[in-house]
Amino acid sequence: MNIYRFQLPNGIRCVHHQVKSPVSYCGIVVGAGSRDENNDEHGLAHLLEHSLFKGTAKRKAFHINNRLENLGGELNAYTTKEETIIHATTLKADFAKSAELLSDIVFNSTFPEKEVDKEKEIIKDEINSYKDSPSERIFDEYEDLLFAGSSLGHNILGNKKSVSKLGSDAIRKFIKRNYNTDRIVFTSVNSYGENKFKEICYKYLGNIPPNFSEYKRERFEKNNFFRKEFNRNTYQAHCIIGGLAYDCTDEKRITLAFIVNLLGGNSANSILNTVVREKAGLAYNIEAGYTPLSDTGIFTVYFGTEDINVAKCIEMTDKELKKLISGEISERKISIAKKQFLGQLYISNENNEGLMIGAGRSILLYDDIHSLEYIADKIKNITISDIVEVAYETFGRELSILTYK
């Protein structure tokens, strides 16, 4: 696999994976998300993402929606706490068209007030939908509590009241403050070579005026411990146990990602799935997750069960966490878990859309791309003492718990 990267004179970084494929994937990764909103802007980054498709200086919304779809391609976007990602999938021959369209909607959108108002109503429906899904809502509410007092501590969607107050002017101000050329990466995966890739980048992104960031995020350093239970009138109880974890620059993040996969990853033989679901029959779904952010991270264990089983599930989870802290795990189990994790890693790398987005995020966060071989080597060299150290630092303190009943 050939990887090319360079920086345009305006500060936009470009990265390209050359692969043999009739399909082309490309995207623009912007280092701006919901944590970059002011207190009176909750939901703005997400509203902006929706509104990018509603018209540019030379295109109406109809033309944007049909530009790639008429070619059999796709155009999509999503917002996280720290990023906004706009991406397109087309046949190889249409790569230039998708690059031009992405550039147009990111840098030339006009945000007609009438169209923005329509999107606000759609987002309110999205908020209602999310409220009807307690297994999703609990994660947002958990993060609100964990990051209370920080810009990380509010829902990406915002709420109906906050979204209602937003408009085109607010979107333009957010763009001016956050859509800086040194916080933007253009990323692609297709069969084009380096020269053609550079040509397209310079043609559609090279003339964007430089706009370097003067904004710096306030680092999150608090640890908001809590134990809360809310009555949501749900048919089953939902619970999250967790706390803060390593940020995306910490070398121990790879070990923690391995431990979390061992504890409650996608495999049916993960520790918690085996103990809580298969042996005890107490939870239909139990999973562990780890999300590293630029200056902090979050570790969670989520399960859904009957009300009467919540305390038992928490107790069993705590017991397994303590086993990892004390090193009660066999070399054989670790060896199997490494093979599993590496298998998942290599298989996920076959997803070219994920590869494209991952490369863009990596350049944005690290200004570098870690090869599969680098990560695989890190995984292979994890020892029991590494697991004990990371487990102690992550799980060896009072963890915060949120329960819906």
- List of long-range contacts for 121-130, beta carbons under 8 Å, 24+ apart: 122/50, 123/43, 123/46, 123/47, 123/50, 123/157, 123/158, 123/163, 124/160, 124/163, 124/164, 126/157, 127/157, 127/158, 127/159, 127/160, 127/163, 130/157
Give the whole-angstrom CA distance, residue 274 versus residue 319.
14
Give the whole-angstrom CA distance, residue 299 versus residue 37.
24
pLDDT for residue 1? 63
Tell which residue, 360, 48, 64, 34, has the closest CA to residue 175: 48
Residue bearing tokens 């840098």: 107
Residue bearing tokens 């009807």: 132
Mean pLDDT (the chain) is 95
pLDDT reading at 267 higher than 90: no
> Who wins on pLDDT, 214 or 281?
281
Q: Are strands 227-230 and 84-91 parallel, antiparallel or unpaired?
A: unpaired
pLDDT for residue 223? 77
pLDDT (tens digit per residue) in 280-310: 999 989 999 999 999 999 999 999 999 999 9
Residues 6+ apart with CB under 8 A from 387: 255, 259, 324, 327, 329, 334
Give the whole-angstrom CA distance, residue 44 versus residue 259.
35
pLDDT (tens digit per residue) in 106-156: 999 999 999 999 999 999 999 999 888 999 999 999 999 999 989 999 999
Residue bearing tokens 């391609």: 73
Q: Model-level pTM?
A: 0.93
DSSP type of residue 287: E
pLDDT reading at 380 higher than 80: yes
| CB of 241 closer than 8 Å to CB of 314 | yes
pLDDT reading at 371 higher than 90: no
DSSP type of residue 81: S
Q: How far apart are the first and last CA of the chain?
A: 50
pLDDT for residue 2? 86
Residues 6+ apart with CB under 8 A from 396: 325
pLDDT (tens digit per residue) in 166-181: 999 999 999 999 999 9
Give the whole-angstrom CA distance, residue 135 versus residue 302.
9
Q: How many residues does the chain have?
A: 405
DSSP reduced 3-state for 30 = strand
DSSP reduced 3-state for 200 = helix
pLDDT reading at 8 higher than 70: yes
pLDDT (tens digit per residue) in 304-351: 999 999 999 999 999 999 999 999 999 999 999 999 999 999 999 899
Residue bearing tokens 């790879």: 254
Give the whole-angstrom CA distance, residue 32 versus residue 80.
8
